[in-house]
Amino acid sequence: MGANSSDRAVLSDTIDPMHRDDEDPSVEIVAREDFSDLTFLLEFRHPMMAKAAKPGQFVIVIPLEHGERIPLTIADFDRDKGTITLVVQAVGKTTKEMQQTCRTGTTLFSVVGPMGEPSHIGDAGKVICVGGGLGAAPVFPQARAFKENGAYVIGVIGFRNKDLVFWEDKFRKYCDEFIICSDDGSVGIKGLVTDGIKAAMEKHDDIDEVIAIGPPIMMKACAETTRPNAIKTTVSLNPIMVDGTGMCGGCRVKVGERMQFACVDGPDFDGHQVDFDDLMSRLKRFSEEEKLATERWSEACRAGKVS
C-alpha cells in the first residue's frame, strides 16, 4: 500500500523544478566515500525526504543541469541527520560524470523522491536478505527493517573479490547470520550468492522469505534456487525509467500474466512470477545510444571540454 503517496506529491512538488521555480531544487552532497574504482557512496542533505523514505524506495536524480534523469535506490536514510545515502556504480555517461563531479560540498541539480512502493516488511519470522555486488546497498535497509521488526535475519552478500566488499560492519550489526560469497574465494565462501542461499536453506527449514537484489541474471538465479521449496522470493527490478511516475511506460515489466510499471507498482515484485528474459532484453534496447553518449563524453573529457 502506498501509504505515503501524498507525502510523495508534496516532496516532489517541493524539490522538482518542473513544479516550482521559486526554490533552488539542488541538494548538497555532505559526504562521499569511494568503495572501489567503480563504486562510490554519496550522502545528500534533504530532511523532508529522509523523514519520508522507506526501505525499497528510490529517487530520480538529475546530477547536472541539462543532464538525464536516472533512478537510484535509497541505500540508507538518517532521519536525525536529515540525509539520504546513495551507492552508485559508474557504468555509463551519467554515472561516470557523477563519479567525476560529485564531491562533498557540491550539489546534485535535482532529486525527486522518495519514489516507488516501499518494500513490504511483513511479520516474517526468518528471512534471507541477498545482495549481489552493488545490490548489497539497496538490500541493507530491508535487512535492518526486518531485524527491527523482530525477524531472524540471514544476510547473504556476494562480490567478485574481497577488495569490492563494502558495508560488512553494517550488515553484521543487523544480521543474525552473515554469509559473504566471492567469485574467487578471496573472502567468505567461494561461490555465488545462490550457494549462500543453498547453505542457509540447508541449515534452516523454516525460512519465510528471501529478498534478492542485484543484476537481473542474479535475481533470476535466486528465484530458481528457492522455487522448488516454494519460498516467497521478492526481487527489486531495475528496468529503464524516465519519469518514475507511471507516465512514460519505459519501465514496463512482465509479472505473471500482468504488465506492471516498476516505478509505481514496484520496484519489488514476486521473483517467481517475473519474466527476467524480457527485462534483460528491454534493458539493452538503447545500448547503441548509451555507447555513443559515453564515447562522446570520454572524448570531450580527453579534449578538456568538460571539467
Shortest Cβ 4–ligand FAD spacing (Å): 17
Q: How far apart are CA 116 and CA 263, in angstroms?
A: 5
Site for ligand FES in 251-280 (CB under 6 A): 251, 261, 263
Residue 112 touching ligand FES (CB under 6 A): no
The correct pick among 11, 42, 52, 87 for binding ligand FAD (CB under 6 A) is 87
Nearer to ligand FAD, 134 or 221 (CB): 134
Interface map 267-306 toward ligand FAD (x if CB under 6 A) = x---------------x---x--x---x------------
* Residue 4 within binding range of Mg ion, rule CB under 5 A: no
Site string for ligand FAD, 51-70 (x = CB under 6 A): -------x-----------x
What grid cell was written down for 140?
Answer: 541493507
Q: Residue 191 region, left (φ>0) first, then alpha (ψ -120 to 50), else beta?
A: left
Q: Nearest CA to 111 among 47, 27, 9?
A: 27
Helices 193-203 and 216-226: crossing angle, nearest 10°? 20
Q: Name the binder of 40 from ligand FAD, Mg ion, ligand FES, none, CB < 5-8 A by kind.
A: none
Task: Cell numbers for 136, please give them.
Answer: 548489497
With contacts defined by CB under 5 A, name the span among 89-97, 153-161, 183-191, 270-278 that binds Mg ion: 89-97
Q: Which residues contact 92 (CB under 8 A, 6 or more apart)?
A: 290, 293, 294
**How many Cα atoms occupy the beta-carbon half-sphere of 237 within 13 Å?**
36
Q: Which residue is nearest to Mg ion (CB)?
A: 94
Q: Which of 72, 130, 179, 211: binder of ligand FAD (CB under 6 A)?
A: 72
Binding residue (CB under 5 A) for Mg ion from 4, 39, 83, 94 = 94
Amino acid type, 285: R
* 247 sits near ligand FES (criterion: CB under 6 A): yes
Q: Could you identify the residue written with the cell 524539490? A: 15
Three-state DSSP class for residue 159:
strand
Is the CB of residue 97 less than 8 Å from the CB of residue 67? yes
Do residues 263 and 116 touch, judged by C-beta distance below 8 A? yes
Q: Which of 3, 18, 91, 247 is close enough to bind ligand FAD by CB under 6 A?
A: 91
- Residues at the contact surface with ligand FAD, assessed by CB under 6 A: 58, 70-73, 86-89, 91-95, 134, 138, 238-241, 267, 283, 287, 290, 294
